[in-house]
């Protein structure tokens, strides 16, 4: 088993799925000769050729629209959008087509497509390169949204996404791309979509997060533990359709819940999780669900990013508010 | 090559059958008699079925509907050049093309009546659903044709859209992708002179839509859109090119929407009766009938028989649609994902209890 | 004072603002000669000419992008998108430009633009004509979202929106366009943005809605009253930034809250309202916030719309669940 | 008209100053000496400032940065044809144009250092902020120019974008709007042969980008993009046309990006050294220097003086940027709306308490 970072794990999943299934093709801006701006598709062009690793013109709507057409006609495209902040031109293709092709054809035509995109703040990036707008996809019935937190998870979740019969938006936290290495198996390794992962058992409070929030939550947990607080940590990993029942049953035991995300607070996923927890566990709740999120402002440029992004301290503060309500 | 002989940048338009049904023999495509008859009958059926839909809407028996009247050749002609296995990608005003491809009329009525079951199609139909968001289907056509090319199939995609669609970003992106990928796709623009109230000349400052192909490195041609032979000839050439791996073609079918945009629209608000009269004299069906009659393939008697037959068929299809069961609650949920997620199943069960009793079924 | 429906009231607001301020221009598909597919801009072309009532080519991204440019250079454009279901191609222009132009230029360039769009289900429309995707705009910092519930409200809110210095998405419930007539004053009438409207005082439960939900809630209230339940009703009318504090203070008195909306449940505005109520009034809550919403499915075609949209009965059921928790 | 004499559909490209600095006198534009010198000095300053930015990035003193090297004429030449009150709409690789317009260099450095204050511009600057989402600025240019036309001002908009941008839907929609509205806008495509790793020839199958204008009913012209005189001449003609109310023009500036796409990129992964060498021999600055020297406007001594002066200015601007105060928490919230909504104010106050102390200010 090789030790690898998330970029390598994603690359491995792509390579193995392409080897396993001829109908898997990659497309996007700079995914071919260049190997992707984050090197995620490195080596695939050389291995599988330009018919299967397609450098496309610079046009997101058409990248996604073309992938939809490919998927309707028997391929399993894995499209890359260079950053989540550039996916918006393709939004119509997701909402009006990918999400409802199955429904509109009563199951005759389907869209087994994956659209990958790096996302999230904290890497000192340019404007528009730090967005966390997962909510705008999670709100649309018919779309699946997946975010891996570690290299191993990335491999298993991407493999499942490529094999999934429905459209999956696979968001890769740029901050985690090279943060951590771990053992990732070659060959079959699948993490089923739709199930949260219990990262850590605990009894005082349930901390819910995903993607790049997990290492931050981890740090927070370390200092919380020192103060005698025992948090349970859930990695949601599939953001839509979300495994709300795991959250609810955890909160029923702990009595407290803190959701951590980097998207703006208003209508971020924390809102829905909060609502579901109340609906499912009001009588167990000893404090309102705490939301540790970005404020409702545009992501600042790098020098101001500390005003925006989530730090372990802010998670600790949130947990303490929940504990002392 | 027709695309060379009729360069839109030089103001040329391909026309084979003139408005009175006189054929330009030098350009006349060779089409077997049965096919010609099939095309004609489909155009007549289309008109009758279309008129019926408008009447049904007026009677409150069908929802908002976009009439095809006047565009029958523009719809049937290009589709006539397809083989089985070729895909048809359409917008929403292509009744003739769908009928030619064998889509059951009653399913279409059912769809326009607002019943999801109208979208069910049996068998291996190479057909997308309607694409109401204007222009959004063009990238799909590229992807579908890419898959053909990738698997080294010899099939092609015929993709319809309107003059209004040429202004959308997806038109541009789709054609540009197709140009660089050289996929087997024919872009068929039904320029019916209007996008709702917007006349073609305000839609773009380019003198023709066909010339837009020059931005994508392939050929475009403008064709008399009420001339089935011209449409067939241009499409056949484009199809042949596509099958040979020589990439896409843009065909502008210069036609006219005789009716309102949809049954919710009133075209007299934005266009003059004279204009409609001008186009009336250029009807695609009557001129093709003259052509068939001159070829001794058609006559008054057959005309009468077929219009009666078609009218009967249409009534039967209406009946089938109208007696179809209403959709069930489960069906509204069933096709959201391949497997219904737990949370959605809970919602379905909740809705079953929450809906007022009279509403289900 | 004339009695008019919502279409006429919007038309009046447009006409008056155009008369008052030369920098106000209208643009969109079919807004000119045709007077709009719903007749909302009727007569404006004749009155103000083609420079001020602009029939544009069919291209939503450019309609919104051009309006942004106009607004940056001194005009006050009021753009129409024919249905909310066709706004998605313009999504990038909203998120990446309209919402943050002020922030990105530190206040130097601003986007005082209004984008109007009919929206919502229940009018037996074609596919894609019934969407309620307000959440995807409310989630984005820097955008305002407004929905009028009655003709009078429409006049006052649209006037405020046109005069607002920031971009406003003005959503017009198609179901309410011609549902009801009421007296609407000619001349100055402004309803400030950002404030909820108390439609009805009550003591047992707070029902929160907007737009086309109000008449439905009204019907529900009538039958609830007969059963001796006294609901308070709030019309949120500005959906972003939302006046959450009015909801919280109402719920603090009533102890119960029911949110009604036509968007899918998951990450619809009900989620955020629910979360805010818990955050602000947990100790007053006698039941979880009830969400009466559409299910997480694509809006069905008209014959199935009863499976989707909100009926007075469903609102009554929601209130009763809240009352009997 | 240059646009008639140099029709891209006939494979023609406008060039006035050849790679060795020899001028085609028949086409030489009349530009006053001071303006020529100003252009030259700005190009030199641009190069020095640009190289400095790259070095600063390597030293970790500045964030990811898109170098302009090689495109100085392509940036400065068109902007030279503008008057005060004309707007400049840009993408992100237009340092030369910004410096010519008088944007303080230290503000630009500050911006690339990731400080929001870098976006502050004093006075009545007719300038949009950078538009990172490729192609998205084109509709803005249309709207800005519409407002000029509406108010009957004689100003114009010059809108820059790259070869990659021509594939985006917004390119198409923007040009189409401008064509139908006939607004005073010049679309200036800096075709630097690459969009990151994507070579121009894979971006579109059209032989030139300039010919895409034919889809919108106005003229396009391809210009040697390393030839300041050609760029000036083509833009001047387009500006004059726009001021007269004759609508837009598309100019393709055929140039080359000598550096990496950004400092995060490694261009050697996708292009050959020979290619870069070929373009090196066509440097826009050195050939313009020869031209000035032949006109006796420039010499070795002045060159030395100006490069020293420019280097000094650049260091000073870097210092100004580096000593600028970091942004304050309040500033991150202040410009979300004209008036801060109550809820946002609460968040600001919350963040003030919630942020670890070291993080503020
Ligand atoms: C993206 C989008 N915008 C607006 C509409 C509303 N709409 C429906 S049809 C139509 C005009 C289409 O014109 P054209 O492409 O010429 O096709 P035609 O209706 O003439 O067949 C418009 C604006 C839509 N369906 N989709
Ligand atoms: C909509 C969008 N998609 C992708 C990107 C990522 N990206 C940044 S620059 C670039 C290439 C731009 O090429 P071109 O337009 O030729 O300009 P150049 O960089 O060559 O100056 C890409 C793909 C982006 N910024 N915006
Ligand atoms: Mg049309
Ligand atoms: Mg480029």
Q: What is the tally of structural domains in chain D?
A: 2
Name the active-site residue from A97, A128, A129, A261. Answer: A129
Interchain pair D139, C165: CB under 8 A? no
Residue C311 tokens, joined: 């009926």
Residue B134 has pLDDT above 50, yes or no: yes
- Choice among D47, D69, D101, D261 that is catalytic: D261
What does each C-alpha distance from C77 to B198, C67, C69 come to in angstroms? 20, 6, 9
| Same-domain status, D337 and D213 | no
Residues of D in contact with A305 (CB under 8 A): 114
Task: Give the distance (Å) from ligand 1 centre to CA of residue B137.
Answer: 12
Percent of chain B predicted with pLDDT > 90 = 98
Q: Which chains touch C (3 or more CB pairs under 8 A)?
A: A, B, D
Give the number of other CB atoms < 10 A from CB of residue B264: 16
- Would you give the end-to-end CA distance of chain A in angstroms? 47
Q: Which domains are seen in chain A, by residue range? A: 2-184 (3.40.50.970), 197-324 (3.40.50.920)
Across the A:C interface, residue pairs with CB atoms under 8 Å apart total 137
Instruction: Give yes or no for residue C159 having a pLDDT over 60.
Output: yes
Question: What are the pLDDT digits (tens) for B271-292?
Answer: 999 999 999 999 999 999 999 9
B310 and B341, same structural domain? no
- Region C86-101: mean pLDDT is 98
What is the per-residue pLDDT for D361? 40
Q: What token pair was written down for A183?
A: 């053992």
Contacts of D103 (CB under 8 A, 6+ apart): D121, D125, D127
Q: Rounded CA gap, B282 and D213, in Å?
A: 33
**pLDDT for A174-207, tens place per residue?**
999 999 999 999 999 999 999 999 999 999 999 9
| A233-A239-A240 Cα angle (round to 5) | 145
- What is the model's pLDDT at position A117? 98
Cα–chain-centroid distance for residue B289?
21
Provide the H-helix boundaries in chain A. 6-20, 44-48, 60-72, 91-92, 101-104, 135-138, 151-163, 213-226, 244-254, 269-281, 312-323
Find the helix or strand (DSSP H, E) in which A119 lies: strand A114-119
A302 touches chain D (CB under 8 A): yes
Q: How far apart are CA C190 and CA A53, in angstroms?
A: 57
Residue of C nearest to D130 (CA): C104
Measured between beta carbons, the chain C residues lying within 8 angstroms of B195 are: 29, 58
Q: Does the beta-carbon distance from C275 to A279 stay under 8 Å?
A: no
Question: Using CB atoms and an 8 Å cut-off, which of residues 59-88 of chain B contact chain C?
Answer: 63-64
Ligand 2 pocket, mutate which of A86, A116, A125 (most atoms under 8 A from CB): A86
Sign of the Cα pseudo-torsion (A95, B344, C256, A318, in order):
negative
- The verdict on B144 touching A (C-beta cutoff 8 Å) is yes
Q: What are phi and psi of A32, to 5 degrees?
A: -90, -105
Q: Which residue of chain B has the CA closest to A240? A: B341
CB nearest to D198's CB, from A30, A86, A129: A30
**Residue of B178, B181, B206, B249 to mutate, testing the D interface (most D Cβ within 10 Å of its Cβ):** B206
Nearest ligand (C-alpha, residue A38): 2
Contact state of C64 with D139 under an 8 Å Cβ cutoff:
yes
- What is the distance between the alpha carbons of residues A27 and B146, in angstroms, rounded to a whole number? 12
Instruction: For residues B77 and B236, give the distance between their C-alpha atoms in angstroms, rounded to a whole number.
Output: 10
The best mutation among D130, D138, D164, D253 to test binding of ligand 2, ranked by most ligand atoms within 8 Å of the C-beta, falls on D164
Contact B175/C at CB under 8 A: no
* CB-based contact, D342 to chain A, within 8 Å: no
**Catalytic annotation present for B257:** yes
Q: Estimate the crossing angle of helix A244-254 against helix A269-281, to 10 degrees.
A: 60
pLDDT of B231 over the 50 cut:
yes
Q: How far is CA D28 from the centre of its chain?
A: 23
β-pairing, D157-162 vs B249-254, is unpaired
Q: Is A312 on the interface with D (CB under 8 A)?
A: no
Q: Give CA–CA dist B237/B276, Å, rounded.
A: 31
Angle (deg, nearest 10), helices B342-354 and A244-254? 90
Q: Which of D48, D11, D80, D33 is nearest to D227 (CA)?
A: D80
H or E segment at C116? Answer: strand C114-119
Annotated catalytic, D256?
A: no
Tokens describing residue C112: 């005082």
The domain of B343 spans: 331-361
Whole-number average pLDDT of chain B: 97
Residues D339 and D323 in one domain: no
B31 and B103 both lie in a single domain: yes
Indicate if B278 and B345 belong to the same structural domain: no
* pTM for the model: 0.98
Q: Whose CA is nearest to atom 26 of ligand 1?
A: B133
Phi, psi at C205, each rounded to 5°: -160, 145
Q: What is the largest CA-CA distance in chain A?
A: 59
Regions of chain A short of the pLDDT cut 50: none
Nearest CA to A149 out of A116, A172, A121, A133 is that of: A172
Residue B338 sits in the same domain as residue B250: no
Give me the pLDDT at residue B358, please.
62
Q: Is the pLDDT of residue C143 over 60?
A: yes
Q: Is the CB of C86 inside a 6 Å radius of any atom of ligand 1?
A: yes
Instruction: Select from A122, A103, A104, A111 the least CA-distant residue to A79.
Output: A111
Question: Do D293 and D312 belong to one domain?
Answer: yes
Task: Determine the Cα–Cα distance for residues A282 and C321; give it in Å rounded to an integer.
Answer: 14
- Report the separation in Å between the CA atom of B72 and the middle of ligand 3, taken as the mean of its atom positions: 14
**Same domain for D26 and D109:** yes
User: Cis before residue A241, ω within 30 degrees of 0?
Assistant: yes
Ligand 1 centroid to B162 CA: how many Å? 8
Region D332-342: mean pLDDT is 98
Does D73 share its domain with D150? yes
Strands A2-4 and A182-184: antiparallel
For residue A292, which of A323, A268, A272 has the smallest C-alpha distance?
A268
Helix, strand, or coil (residue B55): helix
Which of B170, B176, B343 is facing A57, going by the closest CB pair? B176
- Does residue D42 contact residue D309 with C-beta atoms inside 8 Å? no
pLDDT band at B357, cuts 50/70/90?
confident
Residues shown for chain D:
361
Which protein residues touch ligand 2 with a CB less than 6 Å away?
Answer: A 29, 58, 60, 82, 86; D 93, 132-134, 162-165, 192, 194-196, 257, 261
For the CA of B163, the nearest atom of ligand 1: 16
pLDDT tens, position by position, D272-324: 999 999 999 999 999 999 999 999 999 999 999 999 999 999 999 999 999 99
Question: Over the stretch B32-81, which tens digit does the pLDDT of each residue have?
Answer: 999 999 999 999 999 999 999 999 999 999 999 999 999 999 999 999 99
The set of residues, in sequence order, having a beta carbon less than 8 Å from that of C187 and lying 6+ positions away, is C16
Give the CB-side neighbour count of residue B27, counting CA atoms within 13 A.
Answer: 25
Q: What is the DSSP letter of C31?
A: -
275-294 in chain D: CB under 8 A from chain A = none
* Token pair 């193995």 in the structure block, residue: A16
Handedness of CA A300, A301, A307, A309 (dihedral sign): positive
Q: What is the CATH number for B63?
A: 3.40.50.970
Strand, helix or coil for residue A148: coil
Q: How far is the CA of B252 from the centre of ligand 1 (A)?
A: 17
Phi, psi dihedral angles at C158 (to 5 degrees): -70, -40
C-alpha D220/C-alpha A120 separation (Å) is: 40
- Same domain for B29 and B109, yes or no, is yes
Report the pLDDT value the prediction gives residue D360, as an integer from 0 to 100.
42
Q: Which atom of ligand 2 is nearest to the CA of D196?
A: 11
In terms of domains, do D337 and D260 share one? Answer: no
Distance from CA of D112 to the nearest CA of C (A): 13
Q: Average pLDDT for residues C188-208, to the nearest whole number?
A: 98
Interval between CA B165 and ligand 1 midpoint (Å): 7
Residue B260 pLDDT greater than 70, yes or no = yes
CB-CB contact of B35 with B83 (8 Å): no
In the prediction, which pLDDT does B360 show? 42
Retrieve residue B159's tokens: 């993709």
Find, among C218, C217, C222, C296, the residue nearest to C258 by Cα. C217
Q: What is the rounded average pLDDT for all residues in chain D?
A: 97
pLDDT over 60 (residue B361): no
- B157 pLDDT exceeds 50? yes
Which atom of ligand 1 is least distant from the CA of A92? 1
Query: Which pair of structure tokens corresponds to residue D327?
Result: 């942004």
Give the largest CA-CA distance in chain B.
70
Q: What pLDDT, in 10s, does the model give residues D191-241?
A: 999 999 999 999 999 999 999 999 999 999 999 999 999 999 999 999 999
**Per-residue pLDDT tens for B331-348?**
999 999 999 999 999 999
Q: What is the CA(A115)–ligand 4 centre distance, in A?
A: 25
Q: What is the pLDDT of residue D358?
A: 62
Phi-psi map region of A86: left, alpha, beta (phi>0 left; psi -120 to 50 alpha): alpha
Interface contact C182, partner B, CB < 8 A: no
Beta A144-146 vs A76-80: how paired, if at all? Answer: unpaired
Query: What is the whole-number distance in angstroms between the Cα of residue D164 and the centre of ligand 4?
Result: 5
Closest CA to A40 of A14, A68, A66: A14
Asked whether the beta carbons of residue A62 and residue B128 sit closer than 8 angstroms, the reply is no
Q: Which of C124, C125, C304 lies nearest to residue B332, judging by beta carbons?
A: C304
**Residues of D in Cβ contact (< 8 Å) with C25:** 150
D264 and D317 in a single domain? The answer is yes
Whole-angstrom Cα distance, residue D299 to residue D294? 9
Quickly count helices (H) and strands (E) in chain A: 11, 14
| CB within 8 Å: A104 and B131 | no
Tokens matching residue C220: 């529900």
Partner-chain contact D139 C73, CB within 8 Å: no
Q: Which atom of ligand 1 is nearest to the CA of B166?
A: 15
């Amino acid at each position: 088993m090789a030790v690898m970072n998330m970029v390598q794990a994603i690359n491995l999943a792509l390579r193995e799925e392409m080897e396993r299934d001829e109908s898997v093709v990659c497309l996007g801006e700079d995914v071919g000769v260049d190997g992707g701006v984050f090197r995620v598709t490195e080596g695939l062009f050389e291995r599988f050729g330009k018919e299967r690793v397609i450098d496309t013109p610079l046009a997101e709507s058409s990248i996604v629209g073309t992938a939809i057409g490919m998927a309707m006609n028997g391929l399993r495209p894995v499209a890359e959008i260079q950053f989540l902040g550039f996916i918006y031109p393709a939004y119509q293709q997701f909402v009006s087509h990918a999400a409802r092709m199955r429904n509109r054809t009563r199951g005759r035509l389907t869209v087994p497509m994956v659209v990958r995109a790096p996302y999230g703040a904290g890497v000192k990036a340019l404007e528009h390169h730090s967005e966390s707008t997962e909510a705008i996809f999670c709100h649309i019935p018919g779309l699946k949204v997946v975010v891996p937190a570690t290299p191993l998870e990335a491999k298993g979740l991407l493999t499942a996404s490529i094999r999934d019969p429905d459209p999956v938006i696979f968001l890769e936290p740029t901050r985690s791309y090279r943060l951590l290495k771990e053992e990732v198996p070659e060959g079959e390794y699948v993490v089923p979509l739709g199930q949260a992962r219990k990262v850590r058992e605990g009894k005082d409070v349930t901390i819910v997060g995903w993607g790049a929030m997990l290492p931050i939550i981890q740090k927070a947990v370390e200092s919380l533990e020192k103060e005698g607080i025992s948090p349970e940590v859930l990695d949601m990993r599939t953001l839509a359709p979300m495994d709300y029942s795991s959250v609810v049953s955890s909160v029923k035991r702990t009595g407290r819940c803190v959701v951590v995300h980097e998207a703006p607070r208003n209508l971020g996923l924390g809102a829905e999780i909060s609502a579901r927890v109340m609906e499912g566990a009001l009588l167990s709740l000893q404090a309102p669900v705490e939301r540790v999120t970005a404020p409702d402002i545009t992501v600042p440029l790098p020098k101001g990013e500390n005003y925006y992004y989530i730090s372990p301290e802010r998670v600790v503060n949130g947990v303490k508010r929940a504990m002392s309500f | 090559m027709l695309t060379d002989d009729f360069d839109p940048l030089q103001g040329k338009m391909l026309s084979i059958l003139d408005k009175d049904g006189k054929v330009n023999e030098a350009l006349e495509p060779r089409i077997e008699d049965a096919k010609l008859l099939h095309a004609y009958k489909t155009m007549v059926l289309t008109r009758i079925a279309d008129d019926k839909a408008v009447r049904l809407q007026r009677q409150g028996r069908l929802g908002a509907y976009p009439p095809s009247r006047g565009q029958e050749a523009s719809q049937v002609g290009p589709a006539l050049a397809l083989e089985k296995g070729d895909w048809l990608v359409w917008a929403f005003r292509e009744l003739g093309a769908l009928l030619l491809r064998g889509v059951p009329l009653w399913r279409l009525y059912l769809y326009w009546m607002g019943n999801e079951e109208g979208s069910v199609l049996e068998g291996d139909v190479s057909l997308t659903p309607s694409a109401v968001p204007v222009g959004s289907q063009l990238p799909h056509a590229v992807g579908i044709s890419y898959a053909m090319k990738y698997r080294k199939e010899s099939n092609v995609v015929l993709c319809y859209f309107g003059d209004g669609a040429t202004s959308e970003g997806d038109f541009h992106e789709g054609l540009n992708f197709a140009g660089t990928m050289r996929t087997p796709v024919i872009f068929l623009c039904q320029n019916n002179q209007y996008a709702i109230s917007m006349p073609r000349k305000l839609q773009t400052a380019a003198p023709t839509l066909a010339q837009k192909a020059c931005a994508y490195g392939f050929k475009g041609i403008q064709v008399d859109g009420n001339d089935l032979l011209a449409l067939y000839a241009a499409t056949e050439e484009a199809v042949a090119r596509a099958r040979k791996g020589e990439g896409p073609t843009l065909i502008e079918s210069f036609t006219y929407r005789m009716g309102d945009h949809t049954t919710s629209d009133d075209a007299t608000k934005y266009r003059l009766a004279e204009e409609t009269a001008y186009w009336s004299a250029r009807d695609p069906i009557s001129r093709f009938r003259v052509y068939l009659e001159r070829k001794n393939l058609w006559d008054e008697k057959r005309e009468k028989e077929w219009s009666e037959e078609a009218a009967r068929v249409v009534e039967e299809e209406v009946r089938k649609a109208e007696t179809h069961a209403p959709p069930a609650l489960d069906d509204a949920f069933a096709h959201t994902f391949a497997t219904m997620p737990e949370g959605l199943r809970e919602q379905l069960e909740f809705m079953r209890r929450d809906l007022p009793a009279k509403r289900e079924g």
